[in-house]
């Protein structure tokens, strides 16, 4: 009998989260507060432009005060620092998002550290990362936070499970592994983190009850790398050339979806899986920041 895995729809989870956010936004409105999110985009990276447009559209839909500052690629580091400082001082801005990657002449880390941690809705500031590791309340990086929400929504337990994270980026791999070991609901997992210097990665990935692929390599995880019945979370959003399509490319994950489909118990699609959740959590962090501003 062919296996038919549960398809973990980020769209469904995102819709549920936005419904909850709308109630909280209404309460804020009663107190005269409108969540304010300002995104800063430097240069013309096509993927970044798509992401920022999507963030803008969705935050407007929820009734945010949403501003996108589109700056020329030649903007200097000093100019960008001054802009971030002005946003830090602006009480109508609850969330500041500087889209990464920045042009090569700007130090990403310096800019991230200039953002007021109270407005760090991306969860990239060292204070936010430190709070996450310590299990303190703070802003959690949006993609890992979104993955926890997918697991929660579909009632997939993590306690006592072996979670294998593929990839050690600051944005996904490191925070994800740290979230999964926390002593709380949607934590309590045994975590292995593998990366480019791990010999024979498959030895580890084949042991995963929950496999989280954030390698940034298209269709890297094949059927030979997953255990039968595993839950697979695919973080990758890769553009690969496809001459048969008008736009000339298609989006694919870090997992070879078709190849593993018959083997797994649950899987996130690309698109429509984790990617959708990243924006939902950004909106959620911004509402949280607006609520914090009342305290």
| Cβ 223 to ligand GUN shortest distance, Å | 28
For ligand GUN, the closer CB: 42 or 189: 42
Six token digits for residue 203: 């030895």
Six token digits for residue 33: 């507060």
Q: What share of the chain is helix, strand, coil (3-state, %, to 5)?
A: 40, 15, 40
Question: Which residue is it, tokens 């399509």?
Answer: 245
Q: Which of 38, 278, 285, 289 binds ligand GUN (CB under 6 A)?
A: 278
Answer yes or no whether residue 289 interacts with ligand GUN by CB under 6 A: no
Catalytic status, residue 55: yes
Answer yes or no whether residue 142 interacts with ligand GUN by CB under 6 A: yes
Q: Select from 35, 83, 42 the least CA-distant residue to 62.
A: 35
Question: Which residue is catalytic, options 120, 122, 234, 254?
Answer: 122
Six token digits for residue 100: 């990464």
Answer yes or no whether residue 99 interacts with ligand GUN by CB under 6 A: yes
Answer yes or no whether residue 67 interacts with ligand GUN by CB under 6 A: no
The piece of 63-71, 78-86, 98-106, 259-267 that touches ligand GUN (CB under 6 A) is: 98-106
Q: Which of 118, 122, 209, 254 binds ligand GUN (CB under 6 A)?
A: 122
Phi, psi of 213 (to 5 degrees): -100, 110
Catalytic status, residue 122: yes
Helix (H) or strand (E) holding 252: strand 249-252
Inter-residue contact 166 to 147 (CB < 8 Å): no
In the complex, which residue's CB is closest to ligand GUN? 100
For ligand GUN, the closer CB: 142 or 189: 142
Inter-residue contact 130 to 137 (CB < 8 Å): no
Catalytic status, residue 209: no
Six token digits for residue 43: 């240069």
Contact residues toward ligand GUN (CB under 6 A) are 97-100, 122, 142, 278
Q: Please give the positions annotated as active site.
A: 55, 99, 122
């Amino acid at each position: 009998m062919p296996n038919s895995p549960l398809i973990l729809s980020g769209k469904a989870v995102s819709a549920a989260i936005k419904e909850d956010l709308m109630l909280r936004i209404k309460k804020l409105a009663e107190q005269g507060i409108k969540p304010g999110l300002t995104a800063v985009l430097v240069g013309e990276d096509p993927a970044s432009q798509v992401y920022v447009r999507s963030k803008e559209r969705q935050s407007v839909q929820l009734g945010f005060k949403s501003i996108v500052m589109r700056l020329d690629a030649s903007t200097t580091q000093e100019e960008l620092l001054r802009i971030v400082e002005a946003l830090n001082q602006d009480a109508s801005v609850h969330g500041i998002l500087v889209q990464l990657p920045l042009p090569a002449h700007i130090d990403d880390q310096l800019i991230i550290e200039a953002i007021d941690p109270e407005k760090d809705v991306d969860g990239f500031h060292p204070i936010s990362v430190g709070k996450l590791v310590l299990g303190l309340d703070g802003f959690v990086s949006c993609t890992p936070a979104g993955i926890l929400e997918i697991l929660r929504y579909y009632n997939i337990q993590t306690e006592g499970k072996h979670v294998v994270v593929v990839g050690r980026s600051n944005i996904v791999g490191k925070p994800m592994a740290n979230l999964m070991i926390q002593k709380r609901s949607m934590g309590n997992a045994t975590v292995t983190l593998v990366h480019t210097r791990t010999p024979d990665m498959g030895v580890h990935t084949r042991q995963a009850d929950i496999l989280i692929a954030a390698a940034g390599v298209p269709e890297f995880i094949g059927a030979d790398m997953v255990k039968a019945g595993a839950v697979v979370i695919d973080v990758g959003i890769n553009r690969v050339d496809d001459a048969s399509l008008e736009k000339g490319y298609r989006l694919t994950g870090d997992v070879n979806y078709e190849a593993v489909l018959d083997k797994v118990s649950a899987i996130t699609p690309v698109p429509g899986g984790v990617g959708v959740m990243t924006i939902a959590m950004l909106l959620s962090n911004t509402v949280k920041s607006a609520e914090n501003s009342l305290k």
